[in-house]
């Protein structure tokens, strides 16, 4: 079903970005989520236009990861719905996510340690495999396997992982593993890319690389990006728009400059966050 | 770009050196024992080794690769053995290989049924639920003597293995037959482990959530693992009964056997095709070596009771030692030893 999203070159992204009024790539409407007595999200609305880099910020426990987990189908919201492209879901089917053209990374690394780096990246194409078990055992790798291999090679070169393609992820530094996970998400050329703190635990140089990759994902392949990030400098630099969550509610949504000057945001988040900016990074690095 | 070329060339180079090693092992397995082997070698060592290796191979696909812990291996062996017996007995004109495959398929069906809890249960809880297979199959074999063609004890003599009119007779021929079955199953397992399904096994084992998100059909993958694993274990059970013991008896497929297969996989090396063979070799040779050593050291005092006990103690100690010191098993030890031996001949980038 999704082969066309891989083979066909994407429509010019410039056009898509200009046409903000067209159907959003992602819409979250009135989503609420609670775990027992703990409310994680309360009536959150979001509209992410195609080709946008859309950041979600907020203090620890604000509900950012929960939001991405709802969008990727890991959590089922108690109320509201999620629109991906033109399809609306009360609960997004996680198993069909990749086929919907959505890929994500996780706040805590979620690599397959028994596969090498190239194998991990290739798993990003797992949803395309249609060969039955029998065909896999007796058949020879077909044209599709060739195509998959060249996609993996290309993305490894792009994310600058070629030299370590056959290393086990467990032997790599944390920042490099984060890049492997990004490569796994990018290899299928997703229409929508959900990144949960991809730069956590990285030094400035590594972050700059990551910023470059995320930008390229949008500019080259037209991906729409939803980014959770604690580093306000990075967020301000890279985002087209920013939403701010606090205690599960969206308290602001707009262009970087608007959000930066928003009184509520300054009170709730930025003023505080600036001082302990390092803390979440430390925590994530230790995880 | 040079790196890319290297990377793309590497698997095929690894493949050819692996193929050469495999061909050497194969040639010696087919040629050496028939030339030099005694009946004792075949009956006491090689035949049980082959059957247990095959069972270990099957369990390793499920537990080592797909990460689903099972304590039901002996039950699936029993299903394979008794089903092959019944197909052989009740379907006139069915060639033995047909009975063997149908025996494996029957084990796959039972394995699939007892694999269903894996869709909800994990780890320890799944292992306990696979115990149900163990108790259910043993109960069914004792309760319904139809399975053993009316034998009250459930014990039956295994019919001869007949291939294209030729009766497989004597230890050497039974060995060659079992070896051929094991080789075919091993080739299948190697292909499987290197296929998308094999990588899906590993993905589900390492991170089920991430596997689901990238579009691995998690539930189907688990069930395929149970079915394929049980198929191979079922064929192993048939080999155990037809080629090695030449009787089929429920007692040989008890919980002890399930644990034995699990130990083979743990000691040999999880998620490794060779691991099952290494582990089975150790499990088969250990009691024999121990008995020789004990006799030599303590003479008559080292009777079968002491042997049994010391064997269990040593095995237990080995398992704990491996789990702590080398969770990747004998395979990892062997690889390290080989790397050390080859190091002087290799240039730095490959020697590390
Ligand atoms: N699986 C879960 N079970 C129970 N509570 C959860 C679960 N996931 C999230 N929560 C709770 O929901 C709230 C929001 O958590 P979430 O992880 O979404 O925050 P976050 O904004 O991503 O924080 P951080 O910046 O620390 O990653 C927290 O109170 C958290 O404890
Ligand atoms: Mg989070």
pLDDT at residue number A284: 38
The three-state (H, E, C) secondary structure of A253-287, written as one string: EECHHHHHHCHHHHHHHHHHHHHCCHHHHHHHHHC
pLDDT at residue number B346: 64
Check CB contact under 8 Å for A110 and B209.
Answer: yes
Task: Please report, in angstroms and rounded to a whole number, the separation of the first and last CA atoms in chain A.
Answer: 37
More confident position, A273 or A183: A183
The dihedral sign for the CA sequence B150, B154, B157, B162: positive
Domain that holds residue B68: 29-255
H or E element: which one contains A181?
helix A174-186
More confident position, B234 or B28: B234
* Helix, strand, or coil (residue A45): strand
The verdict on residue B51 lying in a domain is yes
A99 Cβ contact list (under 8 Å, min separation 6): A1, A2, A127, B215
A20 Cβ contact list (under 8 Å, min separation 6): A49
Helix then strand count (H, E) for chain A reads 13, 10
From ligand 2's centre to the CA of A91, what distance in Å? 20
The verdict on residue B317 lying in a domain is no
pLDDT band at A11 (very low <50, low <70, confident <90, very high): very low
Helix axes B255-268, B329-342, angle to 10 degrees: 20
Average per-residue pLDDT for chain A: 86
Mean of pLDDT values over B341-350 = 67
DSSP string, B201-215: HHHHHH-HHHHHHTT
H or E element: which one contains B247?
strand B247-248
Task: Report residue A227: phi and psi, to 5°.
Answer: -120, 125
Task: Report residue B4: phi and psi, to 5°.
Answer: -60, -45
A251 Cβ contact list (under 8 Å, min separation 6): A244, A245, A264, A265, A268, A269
- Among B196, B197, B228, pick the best mutation site for testing chain A contact (most A Cβ within 10 A): B196
Parallel, antiparallel, or unpaired for β A53-57 and A241-246? parallel
* Poorest-pLDDT segment among A56-65, B112-121, B177-186, B233-242: B112-121
Q: How many domains, in total, are found in chain B?
A: 1
From ligand 2's centre to the CA of A65, what distance in Å? 4
Compute CA distances A56 → A17, A44, B82, whole Å: 19, 12, 61
Of A112, A118, A133, the CB nearest to B206: A112
Residues with CB under 6 A from ligand 1: A 35, 38, 40, 58, 60-66, 107, 280
Mean of pLDDT values over B126-148 = 89
As a whole number of angstroms, the longest Cα–Cα distance in chain A is 65
Please provide the size of chain A in residues. Answer: 287
pLDDT band at B348 (very low <50, low <70, confident <90, very high): low
pLDDT at residue number A272: 52
Decide if B202 touches A, using CB distance below 8 A. Answer: yes
Whole-number Å distance between alpha carbons of A211 and A218: 11
Ligand 1 atom nearest to CA at A36: 4
According to CATH, what is the number of the domain A1-91+232-287? 3.40.50.300
Specify whether the backbone of B342 is left (phi greater than 0), alpha (psi in -120 to 50) or beta: alpha
Whole-number Å distance between alpha carbons of B265 and B226: 16
* Poorest-pLDDT segment among A48-52, A136-140, A239-243, B232-236: A136-140
pLDDT band at B13 (very low <50, low <70, confident <90, very high): low
More confident position, B211 or B20: B211
| pLDDT tens track for A14-32 | 444 444 456 899 999 999 9
Whole-number Å distance between alpha carbons of B236 and B104: 8
Whole-number Å distance between alpha carbons of B53 and B72: 16
Task: Report residue A26: phi and psi, to 5°.
Answer: -145, 135
Parallel, antiparallel, or unpaired for β A53-57 and A224-228? parallel
Whole-number Å distance between alpha carbons of A103 and A223: 10
Asked whether A50 and A24 are in contact (CB, 8 A), the reply is yes
DSSP state of B244: I
The three-state (H, E, C) secondary structure of B12-57, written as one string: HHHHHHHHHHHHHHHHHHHHHHHHHCCHHHHHHHHHHHHHHHHHHH
pLDDT at residue number B347: 57
Asked whether B202 and B214 are in contact (CB, 8 A), the reply is no
Select from A59, A63, A201, A278 the residue to mutate for testing ligand 1; criterion: most ligand atoms less than 8 Å from CB: A63
A218 Cβ contact list (under 8 Å, min separation 6): A13, A51, A52, A53, A224, A225
- Taking contacts as CB-CB distances below 8 angstroms, the residues of chain B near A71 are none
| pLDDT tens track for A117-138 | 999 999 999 998 877 787 788 7
The verdict on residue B352 lying in a domain is no
Check CB contact under 8 Å for A114 and B202.
Answer: yes
DSSP state of B242: I
Please provide the size of chain B in residues. Answer: 352
How far B332 CA lies from chain A's nearest CA (Å)? Answer: 14
Nearest chain A residue to B206 by CA distance is A112
H or E element: which one contains A20?
none
pTM: 0.88
Specify whether the backbone of B88 is left (phi greater than 0), alpha (psi in -120 to 50) or beta: alpha
Q: Which ligand is nearest to the CA of A66?
A: 1
Residue B164 has pLDDT above 60, yes or no: yes
Q: Where are the beta strands (DSSP E) in chain A?
A: 26-35, 38-48, 53-57, 79-84, 87-89, 102-104, 192-196, 224-228, 241-246, 249-254
Compute CA distances B327 → B190, B263, B265, B312, B333, whole Å: 21, 12, 11, 20, 10
From ligand 2's centre to the CA of A280, what distance in Å? 10
Whole-number Å distance between alpha carbons of B42 and A217: 62
- Taking contacts as CB-CB distances below 8 angstroms, the residues of chain B near A95 are 212, 215, 217-218
Check CB contact under 8 Å for B210 and A111.
Answer: yes
Q: Which of B17-26, B225-234, B245-254 has the highest mean pLDDT?
A: B225-234
Whole-number Å distance between alpha carbons of B106 and B76: 9
Q: Which ligand is nearest to the CA of A231?
A: 1
Check CB contact under 8 Å for A115 and B217.
Answer: no
How far B259 CA lies from chain A's nearest CA (Å)? Answer: 25
* C-alpha A15: how far from chain center: 22
Looking at chain B, the whole-number percentage of residues with pLDDT higher than 70 is 94
- Among A115, A123, A140, A167, pick the best mutation site for testing chain B contact (most B Cβ within 10 A): A123
Task: Report residue A105: phi and psi, to 5°.
Answer: -120, 165
Of A94, A123, A137, the CB nearest to B195: A137
How far A218 CA lies from chain B's nearest CA (Å)? Answer: 20
Asked whether A175 and A201 are in contact (CB, 8 A), the reply is yes
Of A103, A137, A166, the CB nearest to B192: A137
Asked whether A53 and A239 are in contact (CB, 8 A), the reply is yes
The verdict on residue B53 lying in a domain is yes
The verdict on residue B113 lying in a domain is yes
Residue B238 has pLDDT above 60, yes or no: yes
Ligand 1 atom nearest to CA at A75: 1
Check CB contact under 8 Å for B7 and A111.
Answer: no
Please name which of B213, B211, B214 lies closest in space to residue B222, comparing C-alpha atoms: B211
Average per-residue pLDDT for chain B: 89
| pLDDT tens track for A224-271 | 999 999 999 999 999 999 999 999 999 999 999 998 888 888 777 655
More confident position, B312 or A45: A45
- Among B7, B184, B214, B223, pick the best mutation site for testing chain A contact (most A Cβ within 10 A): B214
| pLDDT tens track for B18-70 | 788 888 999 899 998 888 888 888 988 999 999 999 999 999 999 999 999 99
| pLDDT tens track for A75-118 | 999 999 999 988 999 999 999 999 999 999 999 999 999 999 99
Helix axes B196-206, B218-239, angle to 10 degrees: 110
DSSP state of B83: H
More confident position, B76 or B119: B76
Compute CA distances A250 → A226, B83, B153, B161, whole Å: 15, 63, 72, 73
Compute CA distances A194 → A212, A253, B247, whole Å: 16, 18, 60
The verdict on residue B97 lying in a domain is yes
For residue B298, the tally of other CB atoms under 10 A from its CB is 11
């Amino acid at each position: 079903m999704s082969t066309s999203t891989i083979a066909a070159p994407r429509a010019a992204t410039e056009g898509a970005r200009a046409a903000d009024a067209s159907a959003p790539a992602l819409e979250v409407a009135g989503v609420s989520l609670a775990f027992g007595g703990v409310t994680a999200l309360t009536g959150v609305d979001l509209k992410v236009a195609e080709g946008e880099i859309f950041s979600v910020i907020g203090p620890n426990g604000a509900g950012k990861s929960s939001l991405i987990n709802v969008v990727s189908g890991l959590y089922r919201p108690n109320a509201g719905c999620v629109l991906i492209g033109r399809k609306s879901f009360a609960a997004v089917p996680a198993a069909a996510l990749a086929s919907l053209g959505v890929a994500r990374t996780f706040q805590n690394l979620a690599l397959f340690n028994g596969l090498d780096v190239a194998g991990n990246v290739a798993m990003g194409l797992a949803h395309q495999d249609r060969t039955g078990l029998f065909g896999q055992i007796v058949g020879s790798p077909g044209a599709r396997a060739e195509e998959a291999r060249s996609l993996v090679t290309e993305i490894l070169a792009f994310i600058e992982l070629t030299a370590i393609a056959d290393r086990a992820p467990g032997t790599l530094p944390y920042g490099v593993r984060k890049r492997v996970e990004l490569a796994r998400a990018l290899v299928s050329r997703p229409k929508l890319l959900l990144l949960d703190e991809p730069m956590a635990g990285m030094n400035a140089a590594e972050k700059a690389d990551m910023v470059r990759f995320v930008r390229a994902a949008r500019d080259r392949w037209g991906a729409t990006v939803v980014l959770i990030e604690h580093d306000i400098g990075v967020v301000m630099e890279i985002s087209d728009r920013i939403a701010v969550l606090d205690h599960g509610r969206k308290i602001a949504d707009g262009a970087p400059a608007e959000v930066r000057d928003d009184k509520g945001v300054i009170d709730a988040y930025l003023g505080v966050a600036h001082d302990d900016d390092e803390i979440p990074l430390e925590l994530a690095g230790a995880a | 770009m040079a790196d890319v070329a290297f990377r793309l060339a590497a698997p095929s180079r690894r493949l050819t050196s692996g193929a050469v090693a495999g061909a050497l092992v194969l040639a010696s397995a087919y040629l050496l024992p028939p030339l030099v082997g005694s009946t004792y070698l075949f009956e006491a060592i090689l035949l049980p080794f082959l059957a247990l290796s095959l069972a270990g191979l099957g369990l390793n696909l499920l537990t080592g690769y797909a990460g689903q812990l099972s304590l039901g291996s002996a039950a699936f062996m029993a299903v394979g053995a008794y089903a092959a017996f019944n197909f052989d007995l009740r379907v006139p004109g069915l060639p033995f290989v047909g009975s063997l495959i149908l025996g494996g398929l029957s084990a796959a069906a039972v394995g699939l049924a007892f694999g269903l809890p894996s869709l909800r249960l994990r780890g320890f809880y799944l292992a306990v639920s696979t115990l149900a297979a163990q108790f259910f199959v043993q109960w069914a074999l004792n309760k319904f003597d139809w399975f053993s063609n009316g034998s009250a004890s459930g014990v039956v003599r295994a019919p001869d293995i007949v291939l294209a009119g030729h009766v497989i007779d004597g230890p050497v021929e039974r060995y060659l037959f079992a070896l051929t079955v094991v080789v075919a199953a091993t080739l299948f397992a190697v292909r499987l482990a290197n296929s998308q399904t094999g990588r899906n096994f590993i993905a589900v084992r390492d991170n089920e959530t991430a596997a689901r998100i990238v579009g691995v059909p998690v539930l189907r993958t688990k069930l395929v693992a149970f079915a394929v694993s049980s198929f191979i274990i079922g064929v192993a059970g048939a080999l155990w009964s037809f080629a090695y013991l030449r009787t089929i008896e429920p007692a040989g497929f008890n919980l002890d056997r399930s644990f034995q297969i699990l130990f083979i996989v743990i000691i040999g090396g999880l998620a490794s095709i060779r691991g099952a063979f290494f582990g089975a070799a150790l499990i088969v040779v250990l009691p024999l070596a121990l008995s020789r050593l004990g006799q030599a050291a303590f003479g008559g005092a080292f009777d079968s009771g002491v042997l049994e006990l010391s064997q269990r103690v040593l095995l237990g100690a080995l398992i704990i030692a491996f789990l702590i010191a080398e969770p990747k098993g004998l395979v990892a030890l062997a690889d390290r030893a080989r790397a050390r031996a080859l190091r002087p001949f290799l240039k730095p980038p490959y020697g590390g």
